[in-house]
Amino acid sequence: QGELTNDATHDKIIDETIARFGKIDVLVNNAGVFKKPGDASYIESFDYVFAVNVRAAFRLVELATPHLEKTKGNIINVSSIASGPKKLDFGGLEGVVYAMTKSALDRYTQNINQSLMKKGIRINNINPGPFVSNFGNRGAGDGADAAAAKTEFLHKLIEKITPAGRFGQPEELVPAFLLLADEKSSFITGSIWVLDGGMGTWAPEATDLKL
């Protein structure tokens, strides 16, 4: 555990993993933030979110690569459906910055794939949509009342704009991780896996439009 904006934390993660297990088979870059905690300015939040969502993943891949080359292991980056064209204007400038970081992570995975494959290392992204998570709860609002109100609104919204009609459950992400991490998936690399309950295919019904 540690602050991912600190390079020493990245070193610690890799060093302690090797010390305990002797190798690295899979690197999962799952940490992510929507904004900087507290009363931060937009530019302070920008720097913080990019440091955690992009720079930390970039450096952990760099540090893990020599070890993954030995095991012919693989990397799974957790991105988001926010990396694609937006379906709704929601989240303000903080949402824009978050989407920028996830777009960067998608492009990183697809552009570094070829060089990593020369070392026998696969890299893929999993891009979740609306899932029940602490991340979602924290992103809803800083205060308890604000968070509760926004969470209720989000649930109603997701029911409307997701063909599945609900939030995904964390355990519904597990099969994708297991598949991508499995050595039998040796032909799957440089890919973006969207798990969003069909949210990316949603469009408003013609009868819902006020013309």
Set 42, 48, 98, 108: catalytic member = 98
Alpha-carbon separation of residue 208 from 55, 156, 203 (angstroms): 42, 16, 10
The DSSP element (H or E) to which 135 belongs, if any, is: helix 134-140
Note whether 128 and 195 are within 8 A (CB).
Answer: yes
Burial of residue 110 (CB within 10 Å: 0-12, 13-18, 19+) is middle
Note whether 135 and 32 are within 8 A (CB).
Answer: yes
E strands, 89-146, where? 122-128
Reduced to 3 states (helix: H, G, I; strand: E, B; else coil), residue 156 is helix
Q: Which of 42, 39, 193, 49 lies closest to 110 in space, CA to CA?
A: 193
Q: Is 48 a catalytic residue?
A: no
Burial of residue 4 (CB within 10 Å: 0-12, 13-18, 19+) is buried
Catalytically active residues are: 98
